[in-house]
């Protein structure tokens, strides 16, 4: 089977690009790390790629609002290419700042990610429950997962109409829960997200964004309790990348 | 001349010279002003303002470490205490033995490195950072800087540019390293200091703390570098002058560890623009702070500009597009270009520098410490290619001039020559300091027992041991720093395999952090630190020795390697013009030499920040900080799969105490919470400790240590309690099982105090560890600790170099119990109550 081609997009302030590249490589993909200027100036284009990843970081310093400037670049400078990519059913994943970018491009249902209720940046591990009924390509076969978040603007907010649509269209993917899988408040829900929502996908299930960092849990040694618990060699985050790469190889 | 001022020094008398230096914030003393006058007398002209500023910057304490490299006359005065009084009496043979120290740095810190001569040290004390071998192909670089004065005036900006600056040190070491970790250590006044006790013009410690943390957070997080290690000390000695240490580790290919500027290379400035921020940062660091200190000396940071520059510079490095690189730190272009062209010469066209806004004079452009700027030496035939790399990612780069071969520094501004100095004079013309240092040993008598102590001995009373333990856990220096740690992204780059917060609920205090820098290799680095200014108030020698021991303890108990461990020294001191302060610096440096030699751990880089003083206008006095030495340790380990966290793992396991406990409560948190001073400062026997550490390292590598934690502030009781609540398990400790050694004798005087529970529980004796071992591994562990020798064999005959004993057990119930010397239960606390005491102080 041919390796799925993945483009990891970076720009000024992107900082989780290397580990995202490695995550896709570990999942068996052929990965290019590309600066957005190469796409804008036409040195490269999205055509050969099956998966587009927007990694974490502080694109353009998160000036104006987290992810806003890069989102504008995507919509106003690469509108046709991005639209074609998404409409052809290719996969897009935004992690942390990438998720913030995706909601601000409008590629994900009407919502935003705003300042944490705690009023500050926080790095902590959170329990996530997969509530998706199989629409999201990236999370199939995952029940729950333990991953780190690291953000200051991760509070998911939307209106009641969109929330209903999200539920109806199977657009809600991950929810923050406590160690026993129940919805809970801070610190389990680390930012005050509405309904504890940590990740959503579009109606088609091919565009997915999440605040926690699956690329930071590819091996057991990245888990905070690896000295306390018996854990498999492979970290829980890898499955998300494998799902995407396998889907792309089979269907795209 | 149109754009510069000529300063008349040839016709100036001493008063006038002093005025010129003081008003210009040049921080040049009279002798230095004379040296400059002599130079220009030969040249038969007066200097321009650019030339004077260049000399002041290059000769600043900050840049050339005049005190450490000068000549020191060191005297020790011994004091003997009268039998029944506290007044000091000098004996007739009052020591007046004077030692001449020619270059303290070379005689102590650097000497140890030279004598140890480790093959894995690649570059030491030469470049922006120290470099050691990582694996066959890669090396790691480590550097720590201070940014104290800026952080006192503008905590957010000062700390942010502190971390930004040390990151550039790593980016500019050799041909450039990729930053992989940050470490930050702070010293502040107590966060609950009453406002009315705050001297005029000083920001409140809590305000400083919050600003500094936010500054480090916003800069470090945006750079995408995990801030995964640190410490915070609270002591009212730092109210007027906080300390902010920022450090960065980088990784680089081994063939990129050295640079060489060549004549004809173009001087290319990359990154941020030049503005009027940070004028006189280098020279201003030598002036004491006061109520009306100008804030314009603080730089303004922009992490995204630095991130962009980092991205492109590492690409240019891998394409071999330049011969040398350095950062613009203190002294700006003046320091960067001056250093790079030191042996050959340089010519710079100042008007070419891109400015943030118009209106800067030539000297301001030249010495501005505007941030995010790097200077590269680019061979002319590679210019187009390197400029294309920068342009591709919208990074501004400008050719400022070229490196020459005339050994002169020539600066031009719009066609006018505004500076012409011989490189030799600029770099070697500074007169050497000759300073006096007098050491007067302080009081070492133990304080009289206070009420708390008495009640502790009895095990009853208002303040029982449990309450004292809680009080110590709540002391801000001991208390949980989770509020700070979580605001730093300590896991970006996905290599933090031993995190700063550990245990069942990810909230226990880790001893060190372990980073796995390469995705496809299990090799790792262990980073730790040691610092304790309270000991510095008693004796800087033992403070330095304790800091080294602590940094190594932290490193070893997390799984570090003593054989491949390097140290950094960062001295923060008061004015070296005060003989007492300088003597302390000498003593601390001597300890650095003695300890580094004994442990076999070379120093690879360091920095000193002297003149940490505040001029209090009300009292008219200059207030010095407590002498403070930060020691940081970095060790390279072959397999991160063997590292150990500090949280207790399973009920039934044995708790070992390794090392000896002495009556060393001087400078302890126990004394601090009871308002006591004096006492015996903890000492170090590095020979014994090194043997012990190597054995512990072996046991850890063999996988039979389930958790390990060192005893530091708060002593044995705090360490054991932290292990228990981090693991969510109970523990039982027996004071009777603790090895207590005869008090050491110091200054001809021995303390004779009887064995007491408080001493056992709260003494901060060095070189001690708590280790959790499964009962089935007991024999195996003890065999390693014995080293096939009887535990009683003296060290000189190959003995085990230390003592160990099982002092307790891990329990399933969530209670922390301590049995006193008489076998009675003296502490019986719920672990969550102890945890709450530990967490509440800094839960902001």
Q: Which residue of B has its CA nearest to A151?
A: B489
Are the Cβ atoms of B223 and A123 closer than 8 angstroms? no
- Predicted confidence band at B797 (pLDDT cuts at 50, 70, 90)? low
By the CB < 8 Å criterion, does A61 face chain B? Answer: yes
- Closest partner residue to A124 (CB to CB) among B307, B486, B707 is B486
By the CB < 8 Å criterion, does A228 face chain B? Answer: yes
Q: What is the pLDDT of residue B450?
A: 45
Q: What is the pLDDT of residue B791?
A: 56
Whether A213 sits among the annotated catalytic residues: the reply is yes
Sign, CA dihedral A243-A245-A248-A250, equals: negative
Distance between the two ends of chain B, CA-based, in angstroms? 57
Cβ neighbours of B644 in A, within 8 Å = 227
**What is the distance between the alpha carbons of residues A229 and A46, in angstroms, rounded to a whole number?**
42
The answer to whether ipTM exceeds 0.85 is yes
Share of chain B above pLDDT 90, in %: 80
Q: Which residue of B has its CA nearest to A63?
A: B304
> What are the tokens at B232?
């915070």
Cβ pairs A/B, distance under 8 A: 98
Residue B772 is part of which domain span? Answer: 441-522+635-746+754-840
Cβ neighbours of A121 in B, within 8 Å = 217, 221, 487-489
Q: What is the pLDDT of residue B54?
A: 94
Residue A220 to chain B, least CA–CA distance (Å): 9
**Contact in structure between B486 and A122 (CB atoms under 8 Å):** yes
Q: What is the pLDDT of residue B555?
A: 98
For residue B204, pLDDT beyond 80: yes
Cβ burial of B782 (10 Å; 0-12, 13-18, 19+) is middle
Tens digit of pLDDT for each residue in B799-843?
Answer: 544 589 999 999 999 999 999 999 999 999 999 999 999 999 999
Is B457 within a domain?
yes
Task: Give the closest residue to B650 by CA, choosing from B482, B776, B737, B557.
Answer: B776
Cβ neighbours of B308 in A, within 8 Å = 12-13
By the CB < 8 Å criterion, does A15 face chain B? Answer: yes
Task: Judge whether B507 is annotated as a binding position.
Answer: no
Tens digit of pLDDT for each residue in B249-300?
Answer: 999 999 999 999 999 999 999 999 999 887 877 677 677 777 766 666 677 8
Residues on chain B bordering chain A, Cβ-to-Cβ distance under 8 angstroms: 217, 221-224, 302-304, 307-308, 392-394, 485-494, 496-497, 499, 501-504, 506, 516, 519, 640-641, 643-645, 647, 649, 706-707
3-state secondary structure A135-179: CCHHHCCCCEEEEEEEECCCEEECCHHHHHHHHHCCCEEEEEECC
For residue B83, pLDDT beyond 50: no
**What is the distance between the alpha carbons of residues B752 and B759, in angstroms, rounded to a whole number?**
13
Q: Which residue has the tokens 């680019």?
A: B378
For residue B459, pLDDT beyond 90: no
* Residues of B involved in catalysis: 62, 147
Q: Which residue of B has its CA nearest to A36?
A: B393
For residue B623, pLDDT beyond 60: yes
Instruction: Please provide the average confidence, as pLDDT, over all residues in chain B.
Output: 90
Task: Judge whether B495 is annotated as a binding position.
Answer: no
**What is the distance between the alpha carbons of residues A215 and A218, in angstroms, rounded to a whole number?**
6
- Predicted confidence band at B749 (pLDDT cuts at 50, 70, 90)? very low
- The mean pLDDT values, 10 residues at a time, for chain A of 252 residues are 92 97 98 97 94 97 94 95 96 98 96 96 98 97 97 97 97 97 96 98 98 98 96 97 97 90
Which residue among B23, B44, B66 closes a domain?
B66
**Contact in structure between B275 and B188 (CB atoms under 8 Å):** no
Cβ neighbours of B307 in A, within 8 Å = 12-13, 15
What are the percentages of helix, strand and coil residues in chain B, rounded to 5? Answer: 35, 25, 40
Cβ neighbours of B490 in A, within 8 Å = 123
For residue B175, pLDDT beyond 80: yes
Is B416 within a domain?
no
Task: Give the closest residue to B762 by CA, choosing from B696, B676, B646, B835.
Answer: B676
Q: What is the pLDDT of residue B754?
A: 60
> What are the tokens at A60?
């353009």
Q: What is the pLDDT of residue B790?
A: 61
- Predicted confidence band at B750 (pLDDT cuts at 50, 70, 90)? very low
By the CB < 8 Å criterion, does A236 face chain B? Answer: no
Chain A segment 114-153 residues within 8 A of B by beta carbon are 120-125, 148, 150
By the CB < 8 Å criterion, does A224 face chain B? Answer: yes
The separation between CA B695 and the C-alpha centre of its own chain, rounded to angstroms, equals 27
Q: What is the pLDDT of residue B789?
A: 65
Residue B448 to chain A, least CA–CA distance (Å): 45
Q: Which residues contact B588 (CB under 8 A, 6 or more apart)?
A: B536, B540, B541, B543, B544, B571, B627, B629
By the CB < 8 Å criterion, does A186 face chain B? Answer: no
Which residue among B66, B92, B127 closes a domain?
B66
Are the Cβ atoms of A22 and B222 closer than 8 angstroms? no
Cβ neighbours of B489 in A, within 8 Å = 121, 123, 150
- Predicted confidence band at B793 (pLDDT cuts at 50, 70, 90)? low
Are the Cβ atoms of B497 and A124 closer than 8 angstroms? no
- Stronger pLDDT, B84 or B649, i.e. the higher one: B649
Split into its structural domains, chain B has a count of 2
Q: What is the pLDDT of residue A22?
A: 98
Q: What is the pLDDT of residue A149?
A: 98
The answer to which of B255-259, B365-369, B460-464 has the lowest mean pLDDT is B460-464
Task: Judge whether B22 is annotated as a binding position.
Answer: no
Is B782 within a domain?
yes
| CATH number, domain A5-251 | 3.40.50.880
For residue B438, pLDDT beyond 70: yes
Which residue among B45, B66, B87 closes a domain?
B66
Cβ neighbours of B653 in A, within 8 Å = none
Q: What is the pLDDT of residue B200?
A: 83
- Closest partner residue to A122 (CB to CB) among B487, B516, B645 is B487
CATH code for position B771: 3.90.650.10
For residue B215, pLDDT beyond 90: yes
Tens digit of pLDDT for each residue in B497-541?
Answer: 999 999 999 999 999 999 999 999 999 999 999 999 999 999 999
Question: Which pTM value belongs to this model?
Answer: 0.94
Is B197 within a domain?
no
Q: Which residue of B has its CA nearest to A59?
A: B304
Task: Judge whether B315 is annotated as a binding position.
Answer: no
Sign, CA dihedral B146-B151-B156-B157, equals: negative
């Amino acid at each position: 089977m041919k390796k799925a081609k993945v483009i990891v997009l970076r720009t000024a302030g992107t900082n989780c690009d290397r580990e995202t590249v490695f995550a896709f490589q570990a999942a068996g993909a052929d990965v290019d790390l590309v600066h957005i200027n190469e796409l804008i100036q036409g040195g490269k284009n999205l055509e050969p790629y099956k998966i587009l990843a927007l990694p974490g970081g502080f694109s353009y310093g998160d000036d104006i609002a987290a992810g806003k400037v890069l989102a504008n670049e995507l919509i106003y400078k690469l509108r046709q290419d991005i639209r074609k990519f998404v409409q052809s059913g290719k996969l897009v994943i935004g992690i942390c700042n990438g998720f913030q970018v995706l909601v601000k491009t409008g590629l994900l249902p009407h919502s935003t990610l705003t300042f944490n209720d705690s009023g500050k940046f926080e790095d902590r591990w959170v329990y996530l429950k997969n509530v998706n009924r199989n629409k999201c390509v990236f999370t199939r076969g995952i029940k729950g997962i333990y991953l780190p978040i690291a953000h200051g603007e991760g509070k998911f907010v939307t209106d009641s109409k969109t929330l209903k649509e999200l539920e109806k269209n199977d657009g809600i993917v991950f929810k923050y829960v406590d160690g026993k899988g129940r919805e809970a408040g801070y610190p389990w829900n680390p930012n005050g997200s509405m309904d504890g929502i940590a990740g959503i996908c579009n109606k088609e299930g091919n565009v997915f964004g999440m605040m926690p960092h699956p690329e930071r849990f590819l091996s057991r040694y990245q888990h905070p309790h690896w000295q306390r618990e018996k854990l498999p060699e492979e970290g829980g985050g890898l499955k998300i990348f494998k799902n995407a790469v396998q889907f792309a190889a089979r269907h795209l | 001349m149109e754009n510069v001022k000529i300063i008349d020094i040839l016709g100036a008398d001493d008063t006038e010279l002093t005025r010129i230096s003081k008003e210009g914030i040049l921080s040049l003393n009279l002798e230095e002003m004379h040296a400059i006058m002599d130079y220009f007398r030969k040249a038969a002209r007066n200097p321009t303002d650019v030339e004077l500023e260049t000399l002041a910057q290059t000769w600043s304490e900050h840049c050339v470490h005049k005190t450490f490299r000068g000549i020191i006359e060191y005297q020790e005065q011994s004091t003997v205490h009268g039998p029944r009084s506290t007044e000091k009496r000098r004996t007739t043979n009052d020591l007046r033995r004077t030692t001449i120290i020619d270059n303290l740095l070379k005689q102590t810190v650097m000497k140890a490195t030279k004598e140890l001569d480790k093959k894995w040290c690649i570059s030491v004390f030469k470049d922006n950072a120290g470099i050691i071998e990582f694996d066959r192909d890669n090396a790691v670089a480590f550097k720590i800087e201070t940014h104290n004065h800026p952080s006192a005036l503008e905590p957010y900006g000062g700390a942010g540019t502190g971390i930004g600056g040390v990151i550039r040190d790593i980016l500019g070491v050799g041909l450039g390293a990729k930053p992989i970790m940050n470490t930050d250590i702070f010293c502040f006044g107590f966060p609950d200091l009453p406002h009315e006790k705050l001297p005029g013009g000083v920001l409140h410690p809590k305000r400083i703390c919050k600003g500094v943390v936010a500054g480090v957070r916003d800069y470090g997080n945006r750079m995408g570098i995990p801030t995964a290690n640190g410490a915070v000390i609270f002591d009212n000695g730092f109210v007027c002058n906080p300390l902010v240490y920022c450090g960065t580790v980088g990784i680089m290919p081994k063939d990129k560890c050295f640079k060489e500027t060549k004549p004809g290379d173009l001087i290319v400035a990359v990154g941020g623009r030049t503005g009027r921020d940070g004028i006189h940062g280098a020279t201003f660091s030598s002036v004491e702070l006061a109520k009306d200190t100008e804030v314009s000396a603080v730089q303004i940071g922009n992490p995204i500009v630095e991130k962009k520059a980092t991205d492109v510079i590492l690409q240019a490095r891998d394409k071999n597009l330049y011969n040398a690189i350095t950062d613009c730190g203190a002294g700006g272009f003046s320091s960067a270009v001056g250093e790079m062209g030191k042996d050959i010469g340089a010519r710079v066209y100042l008007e070419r520098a891109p400015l943030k806004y118009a209106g800067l004079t030539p000297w301001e452009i030249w010495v501005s410490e505007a941030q995010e700027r790097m200077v590269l030496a680019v061979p002319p035939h590679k210019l187009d290619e390197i400029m294309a790399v920068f342009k591709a990612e919208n990074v501004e780069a400008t050719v400022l001039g070229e490196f020459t071969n005339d050994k002169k520094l020539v600066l031009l501004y719009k066609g006018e020559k505004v500076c012409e100095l011989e490189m030799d004079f600029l770099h070697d013309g500074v007169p050497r300091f000759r300073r006096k240092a007098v050491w007067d040993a302080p009081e070492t008598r133990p304080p009289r027992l206070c009420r708390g102590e008495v009640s502790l001995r009895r095990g009853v009373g208002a303040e029982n041991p449990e309450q004292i333990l809680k009080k110590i856990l709540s002391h801000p220096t001991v208390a949980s720093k989770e509020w700070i740690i979580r605001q730093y992204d300590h896991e970006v780059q996905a290599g933090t395999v031993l995190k700063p917060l550990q245990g069942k609920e990810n909230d226990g205090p880790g001893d060190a952090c372990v980073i796995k820098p390469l995705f496809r290799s299990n090799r790792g680095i262990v980073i730790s630190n040691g610092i304790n200014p309270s000991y510095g108030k008693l004796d800087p020698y033992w403070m330095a020795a304790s800091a080294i021991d602590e940094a190594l303890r932290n490193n070893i108990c997390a799984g570090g390697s003593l054989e491949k461990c390097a140290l950094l020294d960062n001295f923060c001191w008061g004015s070296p013009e005060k003989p007492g302060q300088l003597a302390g610096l000498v003593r601390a440096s001597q300890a650095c030499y003695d300890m580094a030699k004994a442990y076999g751990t070379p120093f690879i880089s360091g920095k000193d920040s002297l003149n940490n003083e505040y001029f209090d206008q009300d009292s008219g006095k200059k207030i010095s900080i407590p002498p403070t030495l930060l020691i940081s340790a970095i060790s390279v380990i072959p397999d991160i799969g063997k590292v150990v966290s500090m949280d207790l793992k399973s009920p039934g396991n044995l708790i070992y105490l390794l090392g000896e406990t002495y009556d060393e409560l001087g400078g302890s948190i126990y004394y601090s919470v009871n308002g006591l001073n004096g006492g015996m400062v903890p000492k170090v026997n590095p020979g014994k400790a090194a043997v012990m550490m190597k054995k512990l390292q072996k046991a850890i590598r063999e996988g039979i240590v389930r958790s390990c934690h060192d005893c530091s502030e708060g002593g044995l009781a705090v360490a054991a309690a932290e292990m228990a609540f981090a693991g969510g398990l109970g523990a039982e400790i027996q004071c009777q099982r603790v090895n207590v050694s005869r008090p050491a004798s110091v200054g001809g005087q021995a303390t004779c105090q009887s064995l007491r529970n408080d001493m056992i529980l709260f003494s901060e004796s060095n070189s001690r560890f708590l280790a959790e071992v499964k009962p089935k591994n007991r024999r195996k562990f003890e065999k390693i600790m014995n080293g096939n020798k009887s535990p009683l064999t003296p060290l000189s005959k190959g003995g085990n170099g230390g003592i160990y004993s099982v002092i307790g057990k891990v329990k399933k119930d969530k209670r922390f119990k301590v049995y006193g010397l008489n076998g009675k239960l003296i502490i019986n606390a719920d672990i969550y109550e102890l945890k709450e005491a530990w967490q509440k102080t800094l839960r902001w």
